[in-house]
């Protein structure tokens, strides 16, 4: 009886193994195929948008027609919205996000490396970073306004605080992920602390740092609208907020598309940088 059950289980396992081999033999999708799938999905969503709005299934207040959004885009370029051309709004928003992001990178990476190397520094800074990291920027926006006023400092600072935490924590995680064997081997060869940091710890932490920078840039763009709530006269986020007060959904969607476009551009730029700096990532 046991022999029959064993032979039955072996027979049943053979198709499963063959199926597993087939799955393993399948070639992964190429970059061109992935891009084509993405383009087809975007085209499908645009077609659904066109059909839904032109058939009147959704009121224009909730979802305007694509041509209405394009008309709002044209008006914004000519400066017929908020009294300033779209290029001025975009330039101001780019300045705030990029400046805050670069500042967060210049401060966050050394702080994260220090936290990863020194347990004492990690014990001092970790509670504060972990405390404010989950807080939404709107929660501490009133304090930023009270302490730093309504000028550009408060806007940049709000985006900086949003970008700083993921960058610092990613750098810390990268240091902790460094191989102890590599560190001990470098020490045995007489490497100084600076050489250890430059040639062992930093290259090991670089993949995590780049991921943290990507996350920080994304968080910076999501904080832009909140930052431009502070008495801003120009900026894409400010334009979207003003349009929402007058129920101009077409302008709101146009502003969302503009912010999303630049966010995607920066995301692909960070991915390209990651491939250049850490080409070995994902090959294991």
Per residue in 48-71, pLDDT (tens digit) is: 999 999 888 888 889 999 999 999
Provide the pLDDT for residue 252.
92
pLDDT digits (tens, 9 = 90+) for 195-238: 777 777 888 888 899 999 999 998 998 888 888 877 778 888 88
Contacts of 135 (CB under 8 A, 6+ apart): none
Place of tokens 């390209």: 272
Neighbours of 127 (CB within 10 A): 10
Q: At residue 284, does pLDDT exceed 70?
A: no
Does residue 206 come out as left (phi exceeding 0), alpha (psi in the -120 to 50 range) or beta? alpha
d(CA 232, CA 155): 9
Of 206 and 19, the structure prediction assigns the larger pLDDT to 206
Q: What mean pLDDT do residues 21-45 have?
A: 76
Answer yes or no: do 151 and 199 share one domain.
yes
The residue range of the domain holding 56 is 31-63
Please tell me whether residues 176 and 215 are part of one structural domain: yes
The answer to whether the beta carbons of residues 72 and 251 sit under 8 Å apart is yes
pLDDT, position 68: 92
Domain contains 1: no
The CA-based dihedral angle spanning residues 193, 194, 195, 201, taken in that order and rounded to the nearest 10 degrees: 80
Same domain, 59 and 200: no
Whether the pLDDT of residue 140 is over 60: the answer is yes
Q: What's residue 157's pLDDT?
A: 92
For residues 214 and 260, state if they share a domain: yes
For residue 148, what are its two tokens? 């730093």
Q: Are residues 77 and 206 in the same domain?
A: yes
Domain assignment present for residue 236? The answer is yes
Q: What is the pLDDT of residues 91-135, one digit of tens each?
A: 999 999 999 999 999 999 999 999 988 889 999 999 999 998 888
The larger pLDDT score, comparing residue 261 to residue 8, is at: 261
130 and 255 assigned to the same domain: yes
The per-residue pLDDT of the chain, averaged, comes to 84
Of the candidates 63, 87, 105, which is a domain's last residue?
63
Which residues have a Cβ under 8 Å from the Cβ of 92 and sit 6 or more positions away?
A: 232, 234, 235
Average pLDDT for 1-17: 50
**Residue 82 Rama label (left phi>0; alpha psi -120 to 50; beta):** left
Tokens (6 digits) for 255: 């502003």
- pLDDT, residue 6, reads 47
Q: Which of 63, 85, 110 marks a domain boundary?
A: 63
Is the same domain home to 55 and 81?
no
Condensed to tens digits (0 to 9), the pLDDT of residues 159-178 reads 999 999 999 999 999 888 77
Q: Residue holding tokens 């300033």?
A: 84
70 neighbors 78 (Cβ within 8 angstroms): no
pLDDT at 72 over 80: yes
Q: Which residues contact 43 (CB under 8 A, 6 or more apart)?
A: none
Same domain, 153 and 202: yes
Give the separation between CA 206 and CA 34, rounded to whole angstroms. Answer: 26
Residues 200, 206, 207, 213: what is their CA dihedral angle, to the nearest 10 degrees? Answer: 160
Q: Could you please report the per-residue DSSP string of 94-114? A: HHHHHHHHHHHHHHHHHHHHH
Q: Do 145 and 231 lie in a common domain?
A: yes
**In a shared domain, residues 174 and 226:** yes
The verdict on 153 and 42 lying in the same domain is no
């Amino acid at each position: 009886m046991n022999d029959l059950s064993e032979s039955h289980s072996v027979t049943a396992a053979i198709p499963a193994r063959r199926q597993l081999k087939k799955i393993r033999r399948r070639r992964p999708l190429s970059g061109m195929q992935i891009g084509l799938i993405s383009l087809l999905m975007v085209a499908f969503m645009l077609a659904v948008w066109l059909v839904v709005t032109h058939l009147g299934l959704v009121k224009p207040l909730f979802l305007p027609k694509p041509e209405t959004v394009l008309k709002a885009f044209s008006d914004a370029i000519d400066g017929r919205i908020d009294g300033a051309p779209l290029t001025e709004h975009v330039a101001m928003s780019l300045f705030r996000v990029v400046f805050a992001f670069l500042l967060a990178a210049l401060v966050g990476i050394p702080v994260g490396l220090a936290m990863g190397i020194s347990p004492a520094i990690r014990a001092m800074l970790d509670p504060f970073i972990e405390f404010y990291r989950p807080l939404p920027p709107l929660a501490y926006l009133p304090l930023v306004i009270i302490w730093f006023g309504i000028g550009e400092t408060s806007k940049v600072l709000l985006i900086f605080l949003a970008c700083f935490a993921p960058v610092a924590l990613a750098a810390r995680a990268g240091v902790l992920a460094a191989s102890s064997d590599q560190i001990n081997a470098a020490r045995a060869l007489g490497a100084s602390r600076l050489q250890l940091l430059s040639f062992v710890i930093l290259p090991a932490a670089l993949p995590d740092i780049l991921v943290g920078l990507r996350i920080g840039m994304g968080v910076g763009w999501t904080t832009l609208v909140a930052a431009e709530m502070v008495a801003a006269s120009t900026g894409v986020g400010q334009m979207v907020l003003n349009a929402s007060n007058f129920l101009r959904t077409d302008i709101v969607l146009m502003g969302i598309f503009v912010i999303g476009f630049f966010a995607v551009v920066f995301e692909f730029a960070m991915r390209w940088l990651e491939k250049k700096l850490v080409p070995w990532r994902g090959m294991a």
